[in-house]
Amino acid sequence: MKIIIIGSGIAGLSAAAYLAREGHDVIIYEYFFKIGGVTATIHQNGYSWDLGPLLLGGLAPHEDLGIILEELGIAEKVELVREDRGQWFPDFQIWPPKEYKGPKWRREYLKEIFPEDSEGLDNYYEFYDKMVEINYIINQRVRTKGLKAFLLKLKLLFKFFKVKKYQNMSAADVLDEFFTNPKLKAVYAGILADMVVKPSEFPGLGVPLTNIETAFDKRIPIDAKWGKRPIYMYVKHGCETLVHAFADYITAHGGKIHINSTVEKILIQNNQAVGIKLKNGQEEYADIVIASGGMFNTFFNLIGKEHLPDDLIHLIETRLLMESVFMVHLGVDMDPTKFHRAALCYYYLTYDIEEGVERCRRGIYHEGKDGFVIYIYSMHSPDMAPPGKHAITIYTIAPRKLKESSWEDKKEEFCNKLIKEAEKFLPGLFESIETKIIMTPEDFKKRINVCTHSFGGTAPVMNMKNPAHQTPIKNLFYIGAYSESGGGVAGAAAGARNVVLKMILKKNERTIL
């Protein structure tokens, strides 16, 4: 078959790799002059920074993206380093202890700070253990067949019965169930700010799964008595090595990747996708079209509402998106490692995650005062900066549109304010800057060709679903962060892989996700 893929993000690359492996004629059309979408790495004056991903899950051999790399035979081309991250709050900080104190050291540390919630911490970690094991069983079940799959289903039902009471609770409800101190609740709700979702909206069963303990200490063993724990890794030398591994595989198997190629329309005849029309007027025909990217551009511009059922139009128009980010990439002539114990630290300067997200959605940017992330690439990949220097990214969540003024008018002012906030933790930062790149929500919007920028796709809100991979148009499939697979590098890749093998090629392959 001839198959056209719109977009060269991780979803498009994954789909193309599996199709090329099977000998199909695959062509990717990428709007930008570089491939990778937000999984790309950018360069300036000898420094390098990733556009999007930080510490990634799913890359271990027993996890979704790790399985994909192994299946395609490109795992050895992507060098990984297992790492952890810190958490900084106004009244306390959470860093891995110098001497390893076991997989639950955070629980004991937090008991010292919040003795009134000691029993609640014990109860929460019982809940945590159950949910991590349930998640492992789910992943194993979808990868097995026959009697083993049936037995895993029975085991899953038994395990789920123990947490069923939390099924319809929000994250806020679950945290209220275990803890009394709002500062302790913020320890487990803080990561939701990164998704720009309120604790009152996020599914409660997801709290443990967004606070996996291995993210906070790389010394926690992978093996557990019930199976293997999820772990977190950096892609050494930047995420572009992951992108290039996929791209090289695609072209080596006869696939083509066209950059600077804007798709203007998906051609549809008799409710069947037959090809695409490019901005330059050129038309290309194919047996199948796979689209990735933003919902609004894909469904309302490239396809057109006239081809869509009312319920899908309503879903897209009402689906809540994450907000955007304001990101400052710096090349510095200083040693930040004297002040920063790990490559990545989340600085939470407010305990009120609910209100912080609400303000962001109202178009009010906090200018770094609510918190930010500092990521020092050169602590795990020295080649991402000149010798003796460091590549740093500081970023915050930010409204897609400002309530007052515009991002273009405010970008320099906001950049300086964010650097000054970060300098409180990295003394001498401002004066050490040799080069910088500022990325506003508008810059991201232009970079990935979307109608409105959402950093990570749709917001993970209770009782909301994303557009399905199988669109209402025959031979047209939808993949990526806004599709039913959801966001995240591993999730988008796994969703694309499943679409190709299970839906397009109809192979009796195990599902991963």
**Cβ 32 vs Cβ 449: under 8 Å:** yes
Cα–Cα distance, 356 to 108 (Å, whole number): 28
Q: What is the pLDDT of residue 138?
A: 82
DSSP lists the bridge partners of residue 224 as: 227
Spatial CB neighbours of 461, under 8 Å, sequence gap ≥ 6? 197, 201, 202, 320
Class of domain 2-39+68-78+238-319+458-504: alpha beta
| Residue that has been written with the tokens 């128009």 in this structure | 317
Least confident of 6-10, 28-32, 337-341: 337-341
Distance, in Å, from the CA atom of 132 to the CA atom of 118, rounded to the nearest integer, reads: 21
Q: State percent of the chain over pLDDT 90.
A: 88
SS3 253: coil
- Give residue 364's identity as a one-letter amino acid code: I
Q: What is the pLDDT of residues 267-323, one digit of tens each?
A: 999 999 999 999 999 999 999 999 998 999 999 999 999 999 999 999 999 999 999
d(CA 360, CA 319): 17
Please, what is the average pLDDT of the chain? 94
Please report the pLDDT score of residue 510 as a whole number: 55
Can you list the alpha helix ranges (DSSP code H) found in 34-98? 64-72
Q: Mean of the pLDDT values across residues 420-437?
A: 97
- When pLDDT is averaged across residues 454-476 and rounded to a whole number, the result is 94
Average pLDDT over residues 313-335: 96
Question: How many whole angstroms separate alpha carbon 402 and alpha carbon 398?
Answer: 9
List the one residue out of 229, 182, 227 whose CA is nearest residue 209.
229
Instruction: Give the single-character DSSP code of 246.
Output: H
Position 414: which residue type? F
What are 169's two structure tokens?
């609770």
- What is the rounded CA–CA span in Å between residue 224 and residue 227? 5
Longest dimension (CA), the chain: 68
Q: Which residues contact 350 (CB under 8 A, 6 or more apart)?
A: 356, 369, 370, 371
Could you read off the pLDDT of 35-50 as tens digits, one per residue? 999 999 999 999 999 9
Which pLDDT belongs to residue 511?
A: 57
- Whole-angstrom CA distances from 14 to 25, 119, 139, 243 are 15, 45, 19, 10
**CA–CA dist 462, 448 (Å, integer):** 27
* Residue 140 confidence (pLDDT): 79
Alpha carbons 120 and 70: distance in angstroms, whole number? 41
Encoding tokens for residue 74? 């490109």
Q: Is the pLDDT of residue 195 over 60?
A: yes
pLDDT at 8 over 80: yes
The pLDDT value recorded for residue 455 is 87
Q: Domain spans of the chain?
A: 2-39+68-78+238-319+458-504, 103-217, 324-448
Q: What is the pTM for the complete model shown? A: 0.94
Any idea which of 67-71, 97-101, 244-248, 449-453 has the lowest mean pLDDT? 449-453
Residue 344 pLDDT exceeds 80: yes
pLDDT the model gives residue 307 = 97
